[in-house]
Structure 1
């Protein structure tokens, strides 16, 4: 890109920063996250030992944004256990308005994906719900080991883009039977949309599967606005309170420091509000389920190439349904 112009109301994921201005970039991604060299066309005969790659797929990050396309190609060579990432982009803005940030891929998604790739046995065969799935990147990674992943968000254009990404990557999931289902889930609504005439709505069978079998909820970089953070935690509470099984919630977040006139200091109010919501959730005693909150260390292997800064964090919330007797005691 020769020149980028950002308006006051647009934001850009740090994933795209400090990149060369060329149109074609390839980066080698291995367990250590070491960068490779600038790309040239990949020839099959040049691969180590002449073998075919284990997987190759296209990943459209923001194809439905006007004048903006990013396509990534991942290739895995089993001999070296490494990945190649190729990004093509058109020469127009990569920033989006704040309400469209779900159309970008953020560093929190990479951190969460790294954790999934480093702990595949924990998620094998699981039913997983992603809240604020955006492009579907993390859901696709999860579905390489999980049985069913419900990737949820709002907005027909975003959900359509996500569904296209899933379709482009379906061949990654089919060998192991994994599946990503793109569905509408609005944190500001009280119920799941089950209207059969509405696109991305839930079937009754899916609602039952969600409530009976979900054991993981994942969310990547979704807490950047206090009102939406409140809605996120309300949704989290309602879901976990109705699940039949204990559920582990994995939330990645990046602390974004800003100077504020209110405090005349560098602060991160969105992160502070997120931490306050975690504390309130853990202290909640309604007799339906208990919540335990813990930070996870980020010393697991880095498979994807990004800057894993100290402000990137991963949190785990464990919800456990309480026995019926305890629920009755709490309600009396």
Structure 2
């Protein structure tokens, strides 16, 4: 945020800070002033400043408010730049219809937090998500990080059906297919209010390089997809295919987030990446915890150089 904008926003930031630290009723926050300021300034930077003054405040990290209060505040905050909060329809069962993709897992929340801390990395770019599941990560990125286009993908019919419903539930429009998204990418959509969004069926074991290239991804992401050795091998296989998708002489960036449940499975993933000739590095952990999940879960994000 420019210095003059920062000075103008200071009273607003102080107001949010004092009310949040006092756990005041959400209705007392200056939401209308925030909406007016968002129309006249860099929205993502202002929202990040508010996060620093509230949920990321040192006092809150030491003495966090209730999960319900923090969640309600974040839902209201997300609503302001997008016109809606992130709303999800999920299964109440961990495994339903033979798939685990109908619920949101911890690494999806972790990756969404990291993306919201690093919105510039997604702004005006095309994102392909592998194994989107219920869609929480993608919806947060679409609303907070201003991507140019976003491709949600999965392979299970029930997951794809739920994904489409969640996207529409959050006020985003769905393109009928990837070709329609690609057609619009030829135009300047940097100032569009929302990204071009589509849902695609992608079976990692059978998808081809030309099919993946049609998505024209700048960034590839995935969260909590390291279930077992079989899925690890399938994931590395599709990453190899993506490495062959040259766009302007550059392969897409890739970020894989996962919960470390079984160290052997994680070790297998990095070993197979080495065999495939895919370099990787661990992304430094971020401090803020915006979403309510098991805090004792150990999670990580790897950046892959495809």
TM bracket (short chain): 0.5 to 0.7
1:110 corresponds to: 109
Q: Within 5 Å, which residues of 2 pair with 1:168-183?
A: 168-170=169-171, 176-183=193-200
CA-to-partner distance for each residue in 1:198-254, whole Å, 9 max, x for gaps?
xxxxxx9x86542xx422111110111211221111111112223332322111111
CA distance 1:127–1:87, shift in 2 (3 Å): closer
Unaligned 5+ segments in structure 2 are 1-15, 44-71, 175-190
Report the counterpart of residue 247 of structure 1 in structure 2.
Answer: 252
- How many Å separate the matches in 1 of 2:226 and 2:106? 13
Say if 2:128 and 2:152, in contact at 8 Å, map to a contact too. Answer: yes
1:78-89 equivalent positions in 2, closer than 5 A = none
Aligned length: 232
* RMSD, matched Cα: 4.0
Q: Which runs of 4+ in 1 moved over 6 A?
A: 34-37, 52-55, 84-90
What aligned pairs does 1:4-15 form with structure 2 within 5 A after superposition?
A: none
| Pairwise CA distance, 1:274 | 3.3
TM-score, length basis structure 2: 0.63
Structure 1 residues 141, 179: closer, same or farther in 2, change over 3 A? farther
- For the Cα contact (< 8 Å) 2:281–2:304, is it kept in 1? yes
Query: Does structure 1 retain, via aligned residues, the 8 Å contact 2:245–2:251?
Result: no
Q: Deviations over 1:91-128 (max 9, x none)?
A: x9544349321000011000000110000011111111
Q: How does 1:56-95 map to 2 (within 5 A)?
A: 74-76=75-77, 93-95=92-94
Normalized per residue, the structure richer in strand is: 1
Pair member with larger Rg: 1
1:1-332 matches, within 5 Å, as 46-48=28-30, 74-76=75-77, 93-97=92-96, 99-144=98-143, 145-170=146-171, 176-191=193-208, 209-210=214-215, 213-244=216-247, 245-256=250-261, 268=262, 271-285=263-277, 291-309=278-296, 311-319=298-306
Write 1 or 2 for the structure with the bigger share of helix: 2
Q: Which runs of 5+ in 1 are unaligned?
A: 1-29, 56-71, 193-203, 257-267, 286-290, 320-332
Q: Secondary structure at the match of 2:302?
A: strand
